[in-house]
């Protein structure tokens, strides 16, 4: 970690301990409202299927399903509910829906937090540097969903190659993948037997088609930032509206989350305000569209992530036509 950066300097221990407090009620409100919205759009989609009215409902339904991953993310941290088994089993349900099994996701995500922006150890960064074409294929979903499905099949065959999954964890992710794959096959078999398209219409098609909206949040959090071990320069927060903050479980305060990952989602705004007050300026942040424009501009002309220094922030907000570079020491 940067010698000048220390989380312990940002907040007093007693105040931080208060921020760590969980709440079943808060978790139930967030999870209940999200699943409730999915139930409503699912009902409307089924009722309007075959008409033009189904198109906007299909889109909203798919967006809501994709952003369930924000909930899975928080459930993996164990911060949604005070009651541990609620975090465990709701996380497993969402992981199944997202084709992203909980145990593997938890292992991968904890490696991401421990080694954020480390090409060899960050569980969410172990990949080839993006080119413009590879980025767009990931952003719009083809390579994203291919990698998710292929990994479950590979794990089911007993093949685990991810460097951040310890050998002692192999049996866990293999068993989980096999159970998930059997369940997916059973859903397919029952659907064929009943000649029902419900699973496709209400789940797979909208989820896979609308993935790109979730990618707006997924890609802005770290891409184009420094690979140094400092959450203030390797993590980005997002400027957005209250609706997006609700659907994303407050993950737009991503710098705050990475700095103190055990703070529940509903306290992240308070945590963010505390950090910015201590720093004396805002944390690194951008809006969804301005980030995508700047990223595409930087990857145009045959360039890739590898063409930019790893210890620099190379995608930031523009001010008066020039990059607004702020030192976060």
Instruction: Give yes or no for a contact between 297 and 303, defined as CB atoms under 8 angstroms apart.
Output: no
Distance in angstroms (rounded) separating the CA atoms of residues 146 and 142: 6
Instruction: Give yes or no for a contact between 60 and 67, defined as CB atoms under 8 angstroms apart.
Output: no
Instruction: Give yes or no for a contact between 313 and 242, defined as CB atoms under 8 angstroms apart.
Output: no
Angle at 257 (CA atoms; ends 167, 141), nearest 5 degrees: 65
Q: pLDDT tens digits, residue range 209-221?
A: 999 999 999 999 9
Residue 259 has a CB neighbour count (10 Å cut-off) of 21
- Residue 41: C-alpha distances to residues 44, 53, 127, 277 (Å): 5, 12, 35, 40
Q: pLDDT tens digits, residue range 300-326?
A: 999 999 999 999 999 998 654 444 444
Q: pLDDT tens digits, residue range 82-132?
A: 999 999 999 999 999 999 999 999 999 999 999 999 999 999 999 999 999
Instruction: Give yes or no for a contact between 57 and 48, defined as CB atoms under 8 angstroms apart.
Output: yes
Q: What is the mean pLDDT of the chain?
A: 94
Q: Grade residue 5 by pLDDT with cuts at 50, 70 and 90.
A: low
Reading the block at residue 175, the tokens are 């068993």
Instruction: Supply the pTM of this predicted model.
Output: 0.94
Instruction: Give yes or no for a contact between 162 and 154, defined as CB atoms under 8 angstroms apart.
Output: no
pLDDT at 3 over 60: no
The mean-pLDDT minimum among 12-21, 124-133, 195-204 falls in 12-21
* Proportion of the chain above pLDDT 90, given as a percent: 91
């Amino acid at each position: 970690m940067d010698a000048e950066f220390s989380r312990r300097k940002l907040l007093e221990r007693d105040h931080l301990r208060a921020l760590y407090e969980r709440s079943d009620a808060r978790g139930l409100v967030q999870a209940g409202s999200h699943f409730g919205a999915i139930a409503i759009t699912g009902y409307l989609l089924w009722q309007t299927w075959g008409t033009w009215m189904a198109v906007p409902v299909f889109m909203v339904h798919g967006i809501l399903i994709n952003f369930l991953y924000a909930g899975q993310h928080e459930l993996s941290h164990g911060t949604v509910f005070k009651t541990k088994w609620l975090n465990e089993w709701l996380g497993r349900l969402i992981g199944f829906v997202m084709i992203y099994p909980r145990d593997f996701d938890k292992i991968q995500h904890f490696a991401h937090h421990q080694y954020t922006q480390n090409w060899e150890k960050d569980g969410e960064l172990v990949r080839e540097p993006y080119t413009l074409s590879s980025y767009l294929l990931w952003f719009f979903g083809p390579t994203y969903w291919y990698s998710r499905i292929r990994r479950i099949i590979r794990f089911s065959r007993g093949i685990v190659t991810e460097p951040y999954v310890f050998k002692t964890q192999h049996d866990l992710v293999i068993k989980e993948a096999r159970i998930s794959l059997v369940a997916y096959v059973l859903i397919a078999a029952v659907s064929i037997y009943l000649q029902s398209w419900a699973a496709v219409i209400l789940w797979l098609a909208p989820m896979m088609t609308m993935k790109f909206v979730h990618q707006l949040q997924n890609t802005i959090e770290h891409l184009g930032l420094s690979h140094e071990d400092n959450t203030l320069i390797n993590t980005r927060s997002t400027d957005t509206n209250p609706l997006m903050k609700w659907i994303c479980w407050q993950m737009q305060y991503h710098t705050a989350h990475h700095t103190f990952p055990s703070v529940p989602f509903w306290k992240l705004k308070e945590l963010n305000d505390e950090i910015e007050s201590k720093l004396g300026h805002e944390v690194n942040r951008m809006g969804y569209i301005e980030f995508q424009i700047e990223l595409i501009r930087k990857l145009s002309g045959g360039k890739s992530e590898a063409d930019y220094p790893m210890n620099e922030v190379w995608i930031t907000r523009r001010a008066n036509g020039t990059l607004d570079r702020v030192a976060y020491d």
